Chain A
Amino acid sequence: MFKNVNQEALKTIFASLVSILIGLIMGLIILLVTDPNNAFLGFQRALLGGFNRMPRSFGEMLYQATPILLTGLSVGFAFKTGLFNIGASGQFIVGGFAAIFVGVRWTFLPTSIAWIVGLIVAMIAGALWAGISGWLKAYRNVNEVITSIMLNYVAVFLVNYLVVATVFNQTRNESLSPTNAFIPRGFFDSLFPRTGVHMGYVVAVVVAIIIWIILEKTTFGFELRAVGFNRHAARYAGVNEKRNIVLSMMIAGALAGLGGALLYLSATGVHIEVVDVIPLQGFNGIPVALLASSNPLGIIFSSLLLAHLNTGGFYMQTLFPTEIINIMVSVIIYFSAFAMITKSVLEKYLKRKGGKNA
């Protein structure tokens, strides 16, 4: 019985590794085509850049991983419940703004708890934003992919407007620093000085574990997964699937919003720029979720992997534009869509090798 669980996990990991490998190879090929002389050096930097200045680079990686761990959880949680949350970016920026607002305008809060309030407000904002898509899907049968994407754009416009209206730094065309609500660095300060990582990472990991517990160990999670697999049977079992769809989206939105807060309440000088650009962290949640097969514990690791790649891209950028990383990631996503197939191919192979218990 325990062996069975492990088999599934191994199959998933194998399939993910195959996708990653292909993605990396595609990236290398493109580098070779673009500039054969520098290709291998660039590739090496991309792959190993994350290890460049250990342990400092490890700290940087944790910092990079924090927001996408959460957007990965957001997308993954939604997947588990049968929904595709491509609106994580919109929820991310809405949450981020809410957190900045708390940090800049609610200075009556003592610094020790201001960041916590910021996180909570961000989660609420993200939840409400996602809830719109959820409600429309549950009660009006509107495809959540389209509403989420539309809301991504609306979120960017709305947040830009609100930033200008409430927390604007006009000289730099971005939001002001939410100094009152900076997330404390805690023990990371001594472990990884001069990096950006802070207690937010701990929060993120704890949240991942909580989400895992909810999905696997509670009746609520049971209902959500039932709805995700088979709406009709869940309904027959008396589950209020409409309410659950809305709740699922709201939870997913809260997670993405939290991700935004953890990023923008970092004391690293990151601000919301008032431009019409949809934040990439939301979309990066998709490969994070897919590579881990939406398993919250696996997402802890896949987010590290993606952060590592992004850091590598940063170190490589003197040779090649960083977008090569995005190209690799999109290839990884493409092949992980086949993951089901890779898994079943693996199953057939194992069966033939004499596994009667397949």
Chain B
Amino acid sequence: MEYVIEMLNITKIFPGVVANDRVTLQVKPQEIHALLGENGAGKSTLMSVLFGLYQPEEGTIKIRGKEVKISNPNDANTLGIGMVHQHFKLVHTFSVLQNIILGIEDTQYGVLQMKEARQRVIDLSNQYGLRIDPDAIVEDISVGMQQRVEILKMLYRNNDILIFDEPTAVLTPQEIEELMKIMKLLISEGKSIVFITHKLNEIKAVADRVSVLRQGKYIGTVEVSETSKEQMSEMMVGRPISLTLDKEEAKPTNPVLEVSGLTVAGHHQHKDSVIDVSFTVRAGEILCVAGIEGNGQSELVYAITGLVKQKGGTIKLNGKDISNATIRERNVAGLSHIPEDRHKHGLVLEFDLAENLALQTYFTKDLQDKGFIKFDARTKRANQLIDQYDIRAGRRAKTNARSMSGGNQQKAIVAREFERAPSLIVAVQPTRGLDVGAIEYIHNQLVKARDLGKAILLISLELNEVLEVSDRIIVMYEGEVVGELNPKQTTQQELGLYMSGSKKDKEVSHV
């Protein structure tokens, strides 16, 4: 039987790292084939090679039995290969229709002909049940609709080999179900799908076979129906891994963070991004704010940490009103922050590790004297943290931050923020983009901090993390708190209902 895709002994090297090491992938026609691996295992790289974004150093690719060379996305497209990327490749200021036709526009003497294209898009949208508005501007539409636009891009180009890169990262459980249905429909219409993920549930739900990559190497391919999640997980990580976090019951005491009636203005929309939100986080507990990305969680955190001035409401830390305090004042008062975007907010990549570790404390008496930096003290403190938190850095304190791995960069940020002995730790997506080992580590650190009496406000989009790590959950939808849940008693389905706004509790103030 002929495979529709064969990638044989693919090797792809970037400066300093072998992203794919003689990897083989074989996909049967009309199957949903999952590609499983941790962050950094090489899955996206392999698919980028298939899609023509990268050229492999070694290896061959066969499509429908014929050996081919894919030098750019146009070649891939001609072969019928399309890709929905993890970070959507959509031009935000263009309309849906413009995005779909970009690259294969109908023209006459160079002038755009939109009428037929529009009709075709509408026809495709109806055929596959992908609801979109051709004239909506992409920056205004929901993430779910944006993904449908990405899928339509592929269908418009008559692609029948479809690659999905971590498609469910941004969807609610209900939307994920819908996507699974769409995938099954696509298969029945003759398409073949490769589906990159690190989520075992989804593989179980929809994939026929799964190929596993680990640290750039190909581990093996198994039938999904014959393999347990634990087995898949062990293939992915290389050792038996507990899928649950070991933690004791929380013993919350005094309130540390009290947010009352907080309202934050929105960016370009007229609607506020945070609307009358109130909650309390106590010492010794982990409160998680769950929700789909873009429902106000980021703005909530910005207001609490001081990056943005709130429109209304108050914020109290250990009883003290910090609603109008500067960022520095809040930090000194005991607020620690592990930011969402470690490269944008967490680190100065051009600085070395010691400088980054001192980023929150450089002005304290320990590290400076009358404005002059105490270099020895700073280096000593940095080395202490490096040992304590097991941060891997080639040149220890002098390592350039940019050269460190994502996991170690995050460890450095965690080290810095925990070290200040704060009362409140605000952790936003702390394990995003990290491998299982690092994720485990950070979860343990959070629980440890909780047991030492810190209050932790966790913002997460990963449902597993939400259910595993938190002691209490509140869900945000369109800027409001719509529900409070007990992680031991709720399910992913129920969470999903709240997250998508389908369910809402009447009385959810001052949780």
Contacts and interface: CB of A to CB of B under 8 A. Distances in A.
Do the two chains touch directly in the complex (Cβ atoms below 8 Å apart)? yes
Interface of A: 1, 4, 217-220, 222, 225-226, 229-230, 232-240, 348, 357
A240 B327 CA distance: 9
Given A218-B373, A219-B362, 9 more contacts: A219-B373, A220-B371, A222-B355, A225-B351, A236-B327, A236-B337, A237-B360, A238-B326, A240-B326
Given A230-B344, A236-B346, A218 B331 contact: no
B345 interface: yes
Contacts of B307: 235-236
A229 B349 contact: yes
A159 to B, nearest CB: 35
28 contacts: A1-B395, A4-B395, A4-B398, A219-B362, A219-B368, A226-B359, A229-B348, A229-B351, A230-B344, A230-B348, A230-B350, A233-B345, A233-B346, A233-B347, A235-B307, A235-B327, A235-B345, A236-B305, A236-B307, A236-B327, A236-B339, A236-B345, A237-B360, A238-B329, A238-B331, A238-B332, A240-B328, A357-B395
Most buried by B among A225, A237, A240, A348: A237
B331 A230 contact: no
Nearest to B347: A233
B88 interface: no
A134 B302 CA distance: 26
Contacts of B360: 237-238
A222 B345 contact: no
Nearest to B327: A238
B441 interface: no
Interface residues on B, range: 20 to 34
Interface in B235-282: none
Contacts of B345: 232-233, 235-236
Contacts of A234: 348
A217 B355 CA distance: 12
Contacts of B329: 238
Nearest to A214: B371
B372 A217 contact: yes
A225 B351 CA distance: 9
Most buried by B among A1, A222, A236: A236
A237 B329 CA distance: 11
Interface string B314-354: 00000000000011110110000101000011111111000
A84 B312 CA distance: 38
Contacts of B327: 235-238
Interface string B287-325: 000000000000000000101000000000000000000
Most buried by B among A232, A238, A348: A238
B363 interface: yes
A233 B328 CA distance: 13
A83 to B, nearest CB: 16
Contacts of B331: 237-238
Contacts of B371: 218-220
B339 to A, nearest CB: 6
Contacts of A219: 362-363, 368, 371-373
Given A217-B373, A233-B346, A235-B307, A226 B351 contact: yes
A347 to B, nearest CB: 10
Interface in B164-190: none
Which 10 pairs of residues, A with B, have the shortest CB-CB distance? A238-B328, A229-B350, A237-B359, A238-B327, A236-B345, A230-B348, A219-B368, A229-B348, A233-B348, A232-B344
Most buried by A among B346, B347, B348, B398: B348
Contacts of A232: 344-345
B362 A222 contact: yes
A218 B15 CA distance: 35
B323 to A, nearest CB: 17
A217 B373 CA distance: 6
Most buried by A among B305, B327, B349: B327
A234 B360 CA distance: 9
Contacts of B362: 219, 222
A162 to B, nearest CB: 37
Contacts of A1: 395, 398
Contacts of A226: 348, 351, 359
B449 to A, nearest CB: 20
Contacts of B398: 1, 4
A217 B398 CA distance: 16
A317 B151 CA distance: 68
Given A220-B371, A226-B351, A233 B344 contact: yes
Nearest to B397: A1
Contacts of A235: 307, 327, 345
Nearest to A226: B348
Contacts of B368: 219
Given A217-B372, A217-B373, A238-B328, A230 B349 contact: yes
A239 B332 CA distance: 13
A240 B351 CA distance: 19
Nearest to A218: B371
A348 to B, nearest CB: 8
Contacts of A238: 326-329, 331-332, 360
A235 B349 CA distance: 15
A245 to B, nearest CB: 16
A232 B326 CA distance: 15
A4 B399 CA distance: 10
A1 B339 CA distance: 30
Nearest to A239: B328
Contacts of B372: 217-219
Contacts of A230: 344, 347-350
Contacts of B348: 226, 229-230, 233-234
